[in-house]
Chain A
């Protein structure tokens, strides 16, 4: 083809140049060809820029830390709507994996992210999600060093699905795990429960209720590091996501073969979350959190750890909610608000609104 436009003469049929499609995701963006390249360099690189990613090789290459053990985790993220008060799928996908590493006592270092984009997704939505991932990664002090993108036909995905994997390093001397709770330990919770679940449910709009609730989604590694500073011998840490605090405590009680006894009136619940739960017939204790941590620590450290939590913005309302004992093993018992006792079980299936 001639570069001198004025002299071009057309002698027959010429294929039209394909449209660039800078505004919405089309199947070609997943072809692995030029459109994929363009999407990566124009949309993904600017917000996520770092040397390992920009090298553009098939795998990111990083130096091993000097000491400690590696913690590795992966998590798939699907959320509707993509944006909700307090968060979005981008923030969730970074914080979710960072938190899974942090609750193992690891300092999260690197993430990878794999995107499934639905054909027809506006590019500006993708850009917003990536900006949010950038900000959250910055907040957590992690770097997104590798990524992948595929495009699914319209209707075969819901906007964006993001899977993130993470690697962190556990410093010497930390030994945290679900099976480490011991009778006599104190059970701590970093703040009010149920905010993420209710915020997303309200934002979904199907149930036609509005709630002044903001998701708590946040990377918890900063808070957790502050806790380790005052108590290197934390026994259990866990972020009570789906299934809520009730399900998390049950997992710990079963893994550690201990009984966990909690006090209903000690568990913080904000007024809007409680009101929404009352209306919907939910128990806030079973509703998802994305920025809370349950910690089980030797009782003599309870006050110091609580103090360190309360000094951190994500743990201002931290409280001791109960204690660990040996019997009945594998069970979570709750002292109810009026002084009765009940067993707190795991959630059986999807949480369903009750009829009346």
Chain B
């Protein structure tokens, strides 16, 4: 497949791996932020091919994983209402809330539908004027533009039966939280290419400076990832601190301006709880006051729902790169993809699910 298969070419990947081997002289800890990158790394066995000096740790960049438990419980409460058509990205359906998941809501008669785009949910709202259509608007900067677009479209269409349950999160505050922690081990970052395709990477040079840690914008195919690692290793070995772009075919410094303007128009930053990590200041987006009519939390009166995590699950430590999935006592025993205790086992992008699925027992 053009523009994909080239980036999975074994010889090209091997060439970059050789270059990394020639460059590295000492151990380095590098975090890939994005769950999509974790998935690729484990799927292709990239971590086994890297020289042993380089340890990859898996960051908190899986939107499904970090969506707080109480948001899932709120989604379940809303989806259980008879007048509601609850729409969601596919892999949120399996995420366990405190007691059940959206699949079991569907099995008990709730109208829960998988959509590929929030704009499909807007269409469903147009087609079902006598029903309440709710979209579960989760994700990082990547899904923020389409989610913002759905609210903007619903407003333009004058739809009063469409709302969104928002749990948006942003990458830069998470990097601050990881690097600012006294337990931090991360010496270099692979930044998430898709997030930067929207936001650019102008936010990263100050972060790199502040913590003295190089950051390299990296894509998702095997060749992209090893190139990102090569960039970061070169910077680390030379002692240089910079934010570099190793994914120039998709990312510019400024990013996608119209998309950013759309996000800005619909959302404003807010404090946000991350599942397993806790509250990170200014790390989320919520609807601006002028769009409050589209806020499902207000419309269905679920703002008071609270929830507690399973005490066995160490997803928080894994998402911060402090532990590996197999450090968890429950991994592969009480906690499997069939019976996930925590969100990192639920999503295909979650570090625990990736380790389990691809056999890192």
Contacts and interface: CB of A to CB of B under 8 A. Distances in A.
Interface string A341-356: 1111100111011111
Nearest to A331: B359
A60 interface: no
B135 to A, nearest CB: 13
A278 interface: yes
A336 B14 CA distance: 13
A339 interface: yes
B63 A356 contact: yes
Contacts of B64: 355
B10 A348 contact: no
B79 to A, nearest CB: 16
B43 A339 contact: no
A340 interface: yes
Interface in A326-340: 331, 333, 336-340
A281 interface: yes
A345 B358 contact: yes
Contacts of B337: 348-349
A345 B357 contact: yes
Interface stretch (B113-121, B208-216, B262-270, B273-281): B113-121
Interface stretch (A168-176, A206-214, A305-313): A206-214
B138 to A, nearest CB: 7
Nearest to B336: A348
Contacts of B89: 353-355
A353 B49 contact: no
Given A337-B10, A342-B358, A355 B114 contact: no
Given A339-B14, A342-B45, A356-B142, A208 B94 contact: no
Interface residues of A, number: 30
A350 B117 CA distance: 19
A61 interface: no
B10 A355 contact: no
Contact of A338 (B44, B90, B338): B44
A341 B358 CA distance: 9
Contact of B120 (A208, A274, A278, A356): A208
A271 interface: yes
Nearest to B116: A207
Contact of A342 (B13, B42, B94, B349): B42
A304 interface: no
A157 interface: no
B8 interface: yes
B317 to A, nearest CB: 23
Interface string B88-127: 0111111000000001000000000111110010000000
A54 interface: no
B45 A336 contact: yes
Nearest to B358: A342
Contact of A340 (B44, B90, B120, B139): B44
Interface in B342-357: 347-349, 356-357
A354 B91 contact: yes
Nearest to B8: A337
Contact of A341 (B9, B48, B138, B336): B48
A275 interface: yes
A339 B16 CA distance: 13
Given A208-B120, A356-B36, A338 B46 contact: yes
Contacts of B9: 338
Could you tell me the dominant secondary structure of chain A's interface residues?
loop
A353 B10 contact: no
B1 interface: yes
B143 interface: yes
A280 B115 CA distance: 11
Interface in B1-28: 1, 4, 8-10, 13-14
B45 A352 contact: no
Interface in B150-202: 194
A354 to B, nearest CB: 5
Contacts of B90: 281, 352-355
B219 interface: no
B222 A338 contact: yes
Contact of A278 (B1, B42, B116, B349): B1
Interface string B242-266: 0000000000000000000000000
A229 to B, nearest CB: 37
Contacts of A331: 359
Contacts of B91: 352-355
Nearest to A271: B1
A340 B49 contact: yes
A355 B46 contact: no
A353 B116 contact: yes
B49 A343 contact: no
A343 B94 contact: no
A348 B338 contact: yes
Nearest to A269: B1
Interface of B: 1, 4, 8-10, 13-14, 36, 42-46, 48-49, 63-64, 89-94, 103, 113-117, 120, 138-140, 142-143, 194, 222, 336-338, 347-349, 356-359
Given A339-B13, A354-B349, A355-B91, 15 more contacts: A209-B116, A275-B1, A278-B1, A336-B43, A336-B45, A337-B222, A339-B49, A340-B44, A343-B358, A345-B358, A349-B94, A355-B63, A355-B89, A355-B90, A356-B140
24 contacts: A208-B116, A275-B1, A336-B43, A338-B9, A338-B49, A339-B13, A339-B49, A340-B45, A342-B358, A345-B359, A349-B94, A349-B103, A352-B90, A354-B348, A355-B63, A355-B89, A355-B90, A355-B92, A355-B143, A355-B347, A355-B349, A356-B139, A356-B142, A356-B194
